[in-house]
Amino acid sequence: MFKKLLGLAPKLESDGSYSPSKMAIKLGTVDKTDFENITYEKYKGDKSKILVIFTEQKNLKMKNGKLFSTGNHPVEALLPMLHLKNAGFDFEIATPTGKPVVFEMWAFPEKDEDVKAIYNHFKSNFKKPINLANFVDSSFDNAASYAAVFVPGGHGSMLGIPEDKNVGKTLNWAHENDLFTISLCHGPGSFLSTTLNNQKFLYEGYKMAVFPDSVDEKTPMIGYLPGKMPFGLSEKLKSLGANIVNKKSDKTVCLDRKLITGASPLASNELGKLAASTLLKELN
């Protein structure tokens, strides 16, 4: 009751899950982003497609059994997409089984016209994405048409994605065909899929920026999460041989070989700029 009075109690949703408290929304989200509308020299080559793997799941179970109402973070998905679209790239939107993309709509920047525009532009694709299993079966021979695979963040990217064999196959496909892999915040949870069936971690020895476990540990205090995370993502990646370059949930971005990563929602604009400029430099 005390937390509720102070606006620190997570909000109970109709399905029994919890979205962030009023205080957490105030401290942890924005109504307008720092997107920079840069004019790029557009890419006009054949490798114009970027596969974007979203989660189709919503409720992440915490250690205490409570469900966090999550999904993909809209800023972490849409700001990088804005930069890449402005740079001349197009997207294929996918989820593991073709069910609709789930966003953390409580984090949507309602006063940001650029974000609204790209969300509305791809709204039908978000509602009816391609099935990643079908992509694996039918599109791997078309690697010459693709520039990158992008896995946006949001705690929802730790739902089903890390355990999905087709995510692992897709990341290996991108690696083997010299495509870029782009991710940020909790999106690198997808990298765990490369260890399924006792395979060696694909990104052992790579530098990467990932959302810090230390911040996830603290956010239940302000009601962002309704409990402690089921496991620490950055520590898990470190244990597999990743070199995490950030300690804070800040604007840090990192390029190591063909892997482009960012630390948090705050890094979304910087990640988009880095991804767009890097792809253009490499492919033009």
According to DSSP, residue 10 is labeled P
Active-site position among 185, 237, 244, 253: 185
Looking up tokens 């540990």 gives 217
263, 252 in Cβ contact below 8 A? yes
In the annotation, is 185 catalytic?
Answer: yes
- Going by C-beta distance under 8 Å and a sequence separation of 6 or more, which residues neighbour residue 35? 79, 82, 112, 114, 115, 269, 272
**Strand order, beta sheet including 130-131:** 130-131, 90-95, 49-53, 146-151, 180-184, 259-262, 253-256
Nearest to 167 by CA among 123, 142, 197, 147: 197
Positions annotated as catalytic residues are 185
